[in-house]
Amino acid sequence: MQHGHSHFRKSLRARSQVSQIPESLRSDDLLDEIEDWCSHGARKDCSPKTLDMRRRIAAQLDWFLTSREFKKCGEREIGAFLDHVKNGHMEPGGRWGLGGSCSKCLREVTRSTRHTYFTYLRAFFNWLLERRKIAASPFEFLESCGPTREKPDPFQPEHVVAMLAQCARTVAPCRNRCIIYLIYDTGIRREELAGIRISDIDMRQRLIRVRGKGDKTRLVAFGNEAKQAIYECLAERGNDLEHEHLIVGVGGHRPGDPMTGDGIYTAFRQIAEFAGINLKKMSPHVMRHSFAVEFLAGGAQELQLMEQLGHTNLEMTKVYVKIGGAKLSEQHRRFSPGDALKEKKKGRPRQS
């Protein structure tokens, strides 16, 4: 009998503890909880860019809750915020009340951007739920618009040849050729390219130590043409090797300083426009797609591509397999093992 009373008391305590967990997050607690989430992310090696995005979305959500005088942050409030992300550009003062000082606030956001807001906030509330800070996630019944389905058309080899030729029209021809060659030949991100130091490059073995997302390092290989482009890039700088970074600025307020990822993007776009390329998207990241397609079509394996690109799982890499479907089919037609058997039966050498 005593055992039954003890079990009953434990059950009551458990129910009491559950009832003490708030149903939803108080608006006043939002920024403190976001900061705890960011601290946890930093310990898990999340990239500074990811942490900045967490804080930026939290600040915008806090502004929205305050402007609407919402006291809590539940399903209704989050749903209203996501609707505001979609339609807020039509409101007086724009999406975040900044008026003409923020042109982006006056423009409609893409489907992909809305999906980004959804996934970041869903991850945050799932984190709160795991730590028993809330009793239920407001995202349990909310649905995302989903990411953009359309994949950008990659640069074709003839596009890259045209861009390399047009580098001669720029203020730093050899540096810009180096930018194009390294992105196309290695698939590195623009931020990774901006972070490459001369000491990271092993010219003999044609390897570069790259610092990727989450400050993780990996080795990427490059070919002889890219090697020559690196030599020419350094020669163009002459004795001006004060900065140890490979890609540096020319002209402007601080010539010789390392270029940023945004600076590389601007130079890249200019070269593509000089070359008369008219793709829907013309960015270093699209050329990263081009590298992946050509790398696989040349006979590389998906695991090799995953390592070269710095992906953490194979599912991310499979996206590039879909983009390069036609080219991979062509490669299979040329090097089909089944067709090779037919040639062997006829006693003829295999043609490529």
Give the pLDDT confidence score for residue 332 in this predicted structure: 46
DSSP string, 35-57: HHHHHHHHHTT--HHHHHHHHHH
Give the pLDDT confidence score for residue 103 in this predicted structure: 81
Q: Is residue 159 flagged as an active site residue?
A: no
Q: Is residue 227 flagged as an active site residue?
A: no
How far from each other are the two terminal CA atoms of the chain, in whole angstroms? 85
Torsion angle defined by CA atoms of residues 137, 140, 144 and 147, in that order, rounded to the nearest 10 degrees:
80
Return the SS3 of 72. strand
Give the pLDDT confidence score for residue 251 in this predicted structure: 64
Give the pLDDT confidence score for residue 341 in this predicted structure: 47
Contact partners, residue 1, CB within 8 Å, separation at least 6: none
Q: What is the largest CA-CA distance in the chain?
A: 92
Q: Is residue 181 flagged as an active site residue?
A: no
Q: Among the options 175, 177, 289, 311, which is catalytic?
A: 311
Q: Is residue 231 flagged as an active site residue?
A: no
Q: Among the options 86, 211, 285, 327, which is catalytic?
A: 285
> Which helix (H) or strand (E) is 208 found in, with range?
strand 207-211
Give the pLDDT confidence score for residue 255 in this predicted structure: 65
- C-beta separation of 96 from 85 below 8 A: no
Q: Among the options 189, 190, 245, 289, which is catalytic?
A: 189
> What gap in Å lies between CA 61 and CA 81, rounded to an integer?
7
Q: Among the options 213, 227, 269, 318, which is catalytic?
A: 213
**Residue whose structure tokens are 């502004």:** 63
Q: Among the options 84, 114, 288, 289, which is catalytic?
A: 288
Tell me the backbone φ, ψ of residue 208, rounded to 5 degrees. -125, 135
> What gap in Å lies between CA 305 and CA 182, rounded to an integer?
15
Q: Is residue 120 flagged as an active site residue?
A: no
Give the pLDDT confidence score for residue 189 in this predicted structure: 92
| Residue 326, CB-side half-sphere exposure with 13 Å CA sphere | 3
Q: What is the pLDDT of residues 20-76, one digit of tens each?
A: 788 889 999 999 999 999 999 888 878 888 899 999 999 999 999 999 999 999 999
pLDDT tens, position by position, for the chain (352 residues)? 445 555 555 554 545 444 578 888 999 999 999 999 999 988 887 888 889 999 999 999 999 999 999 999 999 999 999 999 999 989 888 898 887 678 888 889 888 889 999 999 999 999 999 999 999 999 988 888 766 555 668 889 999 999 999 999 999 999 999 999 999 999 999 999 999 999 999 999 999 999 887 778 898 889 999 999 999 999 998 776 667 899 998 765 566 788 999 999 999 999 999 999 988 888 999 998 888 888 887 777 777 888 888 877 776 666 666 655 555 455 444 544 454 544 554 555 544 4
Q: Crossing angle of helices 261-274/173-186, nearest 10°?
A: 100
> What gap in Å lies between CA 145 and CA 114, rounded to an integer?
7
Give the pLDDT confidence score for residue 254 in this predicted structure: 61
* Tokens describing residue 209: 């130590």
Q: What is the pLDDT of residues 152-168, one digit of tens each?
A: 688 899 999 999 999 99
Give the pLDDT confidence score for residue 134 in this predicted structure: 92
Give the pLDDT confidence score for residue 166 in this predicted structure: 95
> What gap in Å lies between CA 48 and CA 27, rounded to an integer?
25
> What gap in Å lies between CA 67 and CA 102, rounded to an integer?
18
Q: Is residue 237 flagged as an active site residue?
A: no
- Asked if CATH classification 1.10.443.10 holds for the domain at 157-335, the reply, yes or no, is yes
